[in-house]
Structure 1
Amino acid sequence: MNKILLSSLATLLLLMVVGCSSESSDGASADSKKSDEKQTITLGVTPWTSTVPPTKVARILLEDMGYKVEETQADAGSVYVGLSRGDIDVFMDAWLPVHQIYLDKYSDDITDTAVSYPEAAAGLVVPTYMEDVNKISDIKGMEDGFNNKLFGIEEGASVTQVIDEAIKGYGLDMTQINSSEGGMMAQAMRKMQNEEPVVFYGWRPHTMFNKFDLKILEDGEGFFEKSSVHVITNNKLKENAPDAHEFLSNWSIPIDDVENMIVKIEEEGMDPKKVAQNWIDNNQDKVDKMLGK
């Protein structure tokens, strides 16, 4: 009887040890799995054609690193608010110095992480058939020919204020008409089809310079500076996703490549993800450098 009792107790003790060991192993496995899981990275996307190529390239590479990546569509002002709150992790298309006001406003929460490409020209644009208009100051006295209208992008963009300041600074009797990038271009195209006077906001990289004969007007007063396009991240990214932050710190892409991708997407109707993947496949040396390989 004692032998049976001792045998039963030994069996019970063995089962308890195995059970505890299994529970410990499962717990350790769960903890390990949890630590291996990577956070979701959210990319801010403005309604500009220039934002799409770098965003898609970055998304593919981040997903290859094991991250789940989401995109949030918003105007520029809302993207920076999202960055400051931590709702958005990365913005691939920040235009400096125009966007410097946002960097200053949210300096405690966001960081200028990398230069995507420098020397991006921007300013007021007219078609080349307007031979007598080569400087912004040339418009003064001709405002009636433009129906006193200057076409710009969405009101949430910081350049909207710059354009209003330029109108005032040059003493032009004009009103800025704001809409989406597509809406602005539609207005300009209608005018250009009939070779009517038209002035609007333009920048590189953009297909407008591939599709139309345009010139950026000289700005003697310095309202429109040459821009450099930067990558902005919220300050939590470096801690939460250090390898992703390191990759984005090394980010760089030629402006000509961005413009070529825009043409393929906007003019040739190619899928943005396929265009981005083609760029990655054909520029592995640049990719490896950004990934620190």
Structure 2
Amino acid sequence: MVRKKLLALTALLSAGALALSGCGASNSGGGSAAGSSSDEPSSNVDQKWANCKVTDGVKDSSSMDADSKKDITIGAFNGWDESFATAHLIKYELDKQGYNVTIKGFDAGPGYTGVAGGDIDLITDAWLPLTHADYIKKFGDKLENLGCWYDNAKLTIAVNKDSKAQSIGDLKSMASEYNNTLYGIEAGAGLTKTTQNSAIPKYGLDNLNFKVSSTPAMLAQLKKSTEAKQDIAVTLWTPHWAYDAYPVRDLKDPKGAMGGAEVLYSFGRPGFEKDFPKAAQLVKNMAFDDKNLSSLENVMFSDDNYGGEDQDKAVAEWAKDNPDWMKNWQEGKLQVK
């Protein structure tokens, strides 16, 4: 299932537009780059949401009294890998503590509606201040803010780590080293539109063949080229498991052509923290940097690992391999680099 969030986020970050829907879950990592977007900026963007530290509100949850209520439903946004990754991670830990956690997939609109109406207890993938601005304007007063957990959601142009280019502009003079090609994703993706309408003209990259195809095709070429130790340039986004699966890094963007970073938040239904103070604190304690989030997503969604299947088992494997992270999460001691 193609993650359509990142297609939409692309246009949002560069053009200030707002996407109001997410699409199916997948192992291809489509995300916000993959959705459709409006050409008009939302009037509901509130920049206060950009000012959040992922360590705000953390404290030791392991010493808290157990919650008397145990049934929790988490809504995950179809097509958004990090949404399912965090939902299943929370489920894994709470199940260990005796809760009964259910994860249900929704498009973004129904997901927000469900949390605001109390039918869903929790969502973990609110993109702010841009992508979900209209949802927060509509439902914000009925949502409990459980803090942000990732602050680097953005659109990028990336290359293999051992190649020479350092900034997007370098691709103009170094085009031949990258086979004169920039590999992209779907034609309707916000990421594709941002690259075409902003990055290419601002950096004068008309000499490159911008190869628009699909997210799976781009990832297949990235895998092929890095395994062959050939230089490659692709359009990409964070968070994405490719950063853990392949030796890839982002190019610097001094002209801001790809847009700025967004912050990912968790929200609970009305009364969630009162009903589940310990579970709510665990959610507040969650904090990811690029390395750990891409590692988790790689285990869950890359074809070389679980490929989006058996997500509970995938999370259990990741948790077993990262015991310090899991312990620090409970104790509110996660450090984000």
TM bucket (normalised to shorter chain) is 0.5 to 0.7
Structure 2 residue aligned with 1:42:
75
Aligned mates of 1:276, 1:190 — CA distance in 2: 25
8 Å Cα contact 1:122/1:225 also seen in 2: yes
Cα deviation 1:173-208 (Å, max 9, x = unaligned): 35462533x443112223444555532134555553
Cα distance change on mapping 1:39 and 1:250 into 2, 3 Å? closer
Residue 69 (structure 1) aligned to one of 83, 94, 102: 102
Q: Secondary structure at the match of 2:293?
A: helix
Structure 1: tracts of 5 or more residues without a match: 1-35
Q: TM-score normalised to the size of structure 1?
A: 0.61
Cα distance change on mapping 1:106 and 1:119 into 2, 3 Å? closer
Structure 2: tracts of 5 or more residues without a match: 1-68
- How many residue pairs match? The answer is 243
Q: Secondary structure at the match of 1:81?
A: helix
Q: TM-score normalised to the size of structure 2?
A: 0.55
Residue 230 in structure 1 maps to residue 230 in structure 2: no
8 Å Cα contact 2:76/2:123 also seen in 1: yes
Structure 2 residue aligned with 1:273:
315
Residue 136 (structure 1) aligned to one of 168, 187, 195: 168
Structure 1 residue aligned with 2:157:
124
Cα deviation 1:55-87 (Å, max 9, x = unaligned): 2111234555645412317xxxx4x32333327
Normalized per residue, the structure richer in helix is 1
C-alpha displacement of 1:42: 2.3
Aligned mates of 1:41, 1:211 — CA distance in 2: 28
Query: What does 1:104-253 correspond to in 2, within 5 Å?
Result: 104=134, 106-110=136-140, 113-119=146-152, 123-131=156-164, 133-140=165-172, 146=179, 148-152=181-185, 155=188, 159-164=191-196, 165-173=198-206, 175=210, 177=212, 179-180=214-215, 182-203=216-237, 206-224=240-258, 227=261, 229-233=263-267, 237-239=269-271, 242-244=274-276, 246-247=280-281, 250-253=284-287
Aligned mates of 1:43, 1:238 — CA distance in 2: 18
8 Å Cα contact 2:152/2:239 also seen in 1: no
Amino acid at match of 1:150: Y
Amino acid at match of 1:186: A
8 Å Cα contact 2:272/2:280 also seen in 1: no
8 Å Cα contact 1:43/1:55 also seen in 2: yes
CA root-mean-square deviation: 4.2
Aligned mates of 1:55, 1:39 — CA distance in 2: 11
Cα distance change on mapping 1:243 and 1:160 into 2, 3 Å? farther
Cα distance change on mapping 1:222 and 1:240 into 2, 3 Å? same
Cα distance change on mapping 1:233 and 1:177 into 2, 3 Å? farther
C-alpha displacement of 1:141: 6.1
C-alpha displacement of 1:125: 0.6
Cα distance change on mapping 1:285 and 1:191 into 2, 3 Å? closer
Q: Secondary structure at the match of 1:253?
A: coil
8 Å Cα contact 1:125/1:217 also seen in 2: yes
Residue 261 in structure 1 maps to residue 327 in structure 2: no
